[in-house]
Structure 1
């Protein structure tokens, strides 16, 4: 059935059909929405994406640092570029640690408090947390742009990984504060979260249900628990392997350098 429209001009009456078709733009929009579904990122995906961004910063700095150290610490670029490379390196380092901490907290809430996680965990909050982490990292690493600098030596131009000798005392205080709040505390949080997750997974009642259905799924649940525990152990081992040796050796280096500068005769 169609509607009819009338055109009156003088005494001539025209009748023409008006089909009930939707506008072309509406049809195209509906077709696009039907054929291209929107993908929503969950909190884990958001944190993993930001972690990937941190690793991308490291990949950007890697060729320049490899060339610098392979050329016996002779920096061929400008001092501002030295500052940028050092800034990106440390931003990647501590950004990765903090986002791994966020992932640990997210998994901890999901496993140990599954009901509360429905209200506490959301993609919107994950985005806000990610923005806060980036702001915190960039703010805390901003002094690196001041401390990092170059200096001419007999063997070439040095791009200081720390800072020049006259600013080392101030840098030592800054670096110690950063290590405490951006490595030690997140490291403790990660260890505690994964430790509590392992304890929760080891509980016999976790993830099981009564009746025949619980008996049939008991073996599958046990295997799932074992797999999750192994994954947690691997994550903890990789976290310690990637970040703990660096901070330990750097702390020893800072200690020896401070003692050497305090007692030049020794």
Structure 2
């Protein structure tokens, strides 16, 4: 859905230079930040997997989705550095398009799962002990992967093409008129199922969390800590939606609808195409925001990091185990204490 090529109208100036510079720069920065942040998070989560909790499982899958996506971004960088010439074959073209959208919507759905988990822990702590288990979290993650991979499968149907005017091999380019209607339908499906409904669920969860926290006048320290983690998660997730997901989905919908119009002036068309370049770059940047979610709102993530650091500095395995044991039971202890409220 990268609608940014302006070569369809000889009367309008091409934005190819702008597109190539913005994409090559932004994707390079996202690759570095995403690899470092999510790679580091995966190391921490993997080395402390014996402390597993449902929230830990969702964080792990979110980091994995981000890492798989940023590993394909260098292919896009090469394409735009080569000024829109694709030399890497049809298969990699399809995989590069596919992986970006799989990450985008997996990120949204894993955030939904994390938000529901936090909502149950704070609003319904007793039911949470029974409903939220590690096995169910794994089943939810498997379901999300299958659902998003199927939802994004149309992007595997379109590979590289040949531009008849320049004789260049293209990838990530808009479809012809025959494929435009299918893309519009696919856009509405992804906006509703991949963005609007998940965002509504997240907002409802956060409204319930905030209402519950405000209703508590006297809380124990553990309850305050759980509330603080919830507030941090709310802020980070809403900022991610505000910066990455919402502008992209709104602008993509407007632009796709404008492609069927013939009365669009060049200035409006060029501005529309440039805005799609910027919003898609912001959407891809969600891979850089997610590590903040792990560090600032992840249950025990900083404790895990601290334990790893002390172990690396030569702490004994016995001491490490004694430090880690309280974190492993964090969920249950937190829920039992929340129950008292």
**Any idea what the Cα deviations from partners look like across 1:203-245, whole Å, max 9, x if unmatched?**
134735xxxxxxxx6xx96687466435422331223212111
Using a 3 Å threshold, how does the CA distance of structure 1 residues 168 and 43 change in structure 2: closer, same or farther?
Answer: same
Q: Distance in 2 between matches of 1:42 and 1:51?
A: 14
Moved more, 90-99 or 223-232: 223-232
Partner of residue 248, structure 1: 250
- Give 3-state SS (helix, strand or coil) of 2:87's partner: coil
- Give 3-state SS (helix, strand or coil) of 1:259's partner: coil
1:74 aligns with 2:96: no
Q: How does 1:135-146 map to 2 (within 5 A)?
A: 135-146=146-157
* TM superposition shift of 1:193: 1.0
Q: How does 1:1-266 map to 2 (within 5 A)?
A: 39-155=50-166, 156-205=168-217, 207=219, 225=227, 228-260=230-262
Higher relative contact order by CA 8 Å / sep ≥ 6: 1 or 2?
Answer: 2
Q: TM-score, normalised by structure 2?
A: 0.58
- Give 3-state SS (helix, strand or coil) of 2:157's partner: helix
- Give 3-state SS (helix, strand or coil) of 1:143's partner: helix
* TM superposition shift of 1:160: 3.1
Using a 3 Å threshold, how does the CA distance of structure 1 residues 111 and 221 change in structure 2: closer, same or farther?
Answer: closer
The answer (yes or no) to whether the contact 2:89–2:160 under 8 Å persists in 1 is: no
The answer (yes or no) to whether the contact 1:101–1:190 under 8 Å persists in 2 is: yes
How many residues align? The count is 217
Partner of residue 4, structure 1: none
Using a 3 Å threshold, how does the CA distance of structure 1 residues 201 and 64 change in structure 2: closer, same or farther?
Answer: same
Where does the alignment leave 5 or more consecutive residues of structure 2 unmatched?
1-47, 265-341
**Any idea what the Cα deviations from partners look like across 1:99-157, whole Å, max 9, x if unmatched?**
11111111111111111000110000000001011010111111111134422344422
The answer (yes or no) to whether the contact 2:112–2:202 under 8 Å persists in 1 is: yes
* Greater C-alpha Rg: 1
Q: TM-score, normalised by structure 1?
A: 0.73
More strand by share: 1
The answer (yes or no) to whether the contact 1:152–1:158 under 8 Å persists in 2 is: yes
- Give 3-state SS (helix, strand or coil) of 1:258's partner: coil
Q: Distance in 2 between matches of 1:261 and 1:146?
A: 31
- Give 3-state SS (helix, strand or coil) of 2:71's partner: helix
**Any idea what the Cα deviations from partners look like across 1:168-211, whole Å, max 9, x if unmatched?**
11121122112210111111111221122112111134735xxx
Q: Distance in 2 between matches of 1:75 and 1:44?
A: 40
